[in-house]
Amino acid sequence: MISARCLTTCDDDEEDNSRVALILGDKPVCGVKALLMAPKIKLSSGYEMPMKGYQCLTAIHCAVETGFRHFDTAFCYENEKEVGEAIRTQIQMGNVSRENIFLTTKLWNTHHDPRDVRRICEKQLEALGFDYIDLYLMHFPVGYKHMCDEILQPMDGNKVQTSDVDYIDTWHAMEELVKLGMVRSIGVSNFNMEQVQRIIQCSSSKPVVNQVEIWPGFMQKDLVDYCRYNGIVVTAYAPLGQPDREMHSPIYFFSEGMRRLVKKYKRTAAQIVLRYLVDYGVVPIPKAGNPLHIKQNLNIFDFQLNEVDTRALRGIKPKDRLVKFDEVKDHTFYPFEREEEREQQPEEFEQEEIPPKRVTIPPAEPAEGEEAEPPVE
């Protein structure tokens, strides 16, 4: 039995970005008064999902000890074994129970053949080391040709080899996983409104979740409204817009308007954006490898943006999507708009309450993983 209660170290100095000052135990340590926890939202399947997720990188122990209970991974991330081992270790340490963990993983595009769905799900359960998956998503509506499980993108020259498997047939095979008790809830990712509607019309169950790209420059209001109307929870990947300090992109994240909000609320730019998205009604799934950023990502439920600032964020000019899957844009089931070129406009946003004096604030650190390393969706 592992006797330690915490695999990350504690320090009161927040400037030390290599450590975090929270653990999950009977008594608070390092001056921390309470463990940060996210509220939950009820899925149409009857299960509850924390409203704040963590897209798994390397710091799983830190995320559990900070208070995260919703973990998002996928077959194509090639880290399910490591994620499972970390969570099981935390369970053995007594820091959390399996019942309090909400684990999401995904069916990859090479396994759309209905005859392959149960087999690969069993393989994923074995890698994770658990008896069931809380939420199993179809990663993308377009299927790829299956050559072997290790080849994620079967190529013919410079072209991805796709399959003609209908995602409806794949969905029906996923429904069987629920009946078998292998997964508790099923959903989709990167599906558009028409594709979600087709599943609803052709199946005995509807997706409980649609995980899509959402950030302040790409809010997908019509899709979010549609899903909300049909009782489908929307989870948001790339919720910050993949900040890159060197490229100063996306502009809104490093703008003077954002710096004013950082000073006003005494929060990082990432915390302000994540709070804005929660209020918008979606469940953000940010990436983070830095323990301080992991803590900050969860610490967004003790403040609220006022209406003026919410309107300012809502006024950010729409931008193009970041994750496009362009390599399969000619497929029948490609879910995104094919005319991707949009007029680019400045992203700086104005607040209605502008201070009379310009205030210089150091740029907030992005909390979506390493600055120079774009997320893998």
- Tokens standing for 193? 């409104």
Q: Is residue 11 part of a domain?
A: no
Long-range residue pairs from 222-231, CB within 8 A, at least 24 positions apart, any chain: 222/193, 223/192, 223/193, 224/280, 224/281, 224/282, 226/193, 226/196, 227/196, 228/281, 230/196, 230/200, 230/206, 231/44, 231/206
Residue 369: CB partners within 8 Å, gap ≥ 6?
57, 287, 288, 289, 290, 293, 375
Per run of 10 residues, the mean pLDDT along the chain (length 377 residues) is 40 30 28 58 88 67 89 94 94 94 97 98 98 98 97 93 98 98 98 98 97 97 97 97 92 96 97 97 90 90 96 95 94 85 48 40 43 38
Q: How far apart are CA 256 and CA 259, in angstroms?
A: 5
Structure tokens at 252: 């809104």
Find the distance separating the first CA and the last CA of the chain, reported in whole Å: 36
Residue 124 located in a structural domain: yes
Question: Among residues 47, 54, 77, 265, which one is catalytic?
Answer: 77
C-beta separation of 259 from 266 below 8 A? no
Torsion-angle region of residue 155: left (phi > 0), alpha (psi -120 to 50) or beta? beta
The pLDDT value given to residue 92: 94
Structural domains in the chain (count): 1
Q: What is the per-residue pLDDT for 190?
A: 98
User: pLDDT value at position 33?
Assistant: 37
pLDDT number for residue 36: 60
Residue 349 inside a domain? The answer is: no
Whether residue 260 contacts residue 356, with contact meaning beta carbons closer than 8 Å, is answered with: no
Question: How far apart are the C-alpha atoms of 147 and 372, rounded to whole Å?
Answer: 33
- Report the CATH number at residue 72: 3.20.20.100
Q: Specify whether 237 is catalytic.
A: no
The answer to whether position 82 is within a domain reads yes
The pLDDT of residue 356:
38
Residue 324 within any structural domain of the chain: yes
Rounded to the nearest 5 degrees, what angle is found at the Cα of 346, between the Cα atoms of 345 and 349? 125
Angle at alpha carbon of residue 193, lines to 206 and 317, rounded to 5°: 135
Per DSSP, the three-state class of 310 is: helix
For residue 351, the model assigns a pLDDT of 47
Is residue 27 situated within a structural domain? no
Structural domain contains residue 211: yes
One-letter amino acid of 322: L
Edge-to-edge strand order for the sheet containing 209-213? 54-55, 70-72, 102-107, 133-138, 183-189, 209-213, 233-237, 283-285
Which alpha helices (DSSP H) does 266-323 contain, by range?
Answer: 269-280, 291-298, 307-314
Residue 2 lies in a domain: no
* C-alpha neighbours within 13 Å on the C-beta side of residue 242: 16
The SS3 call for residue 86 is helix
State which residues form the domain around 128: 42-333
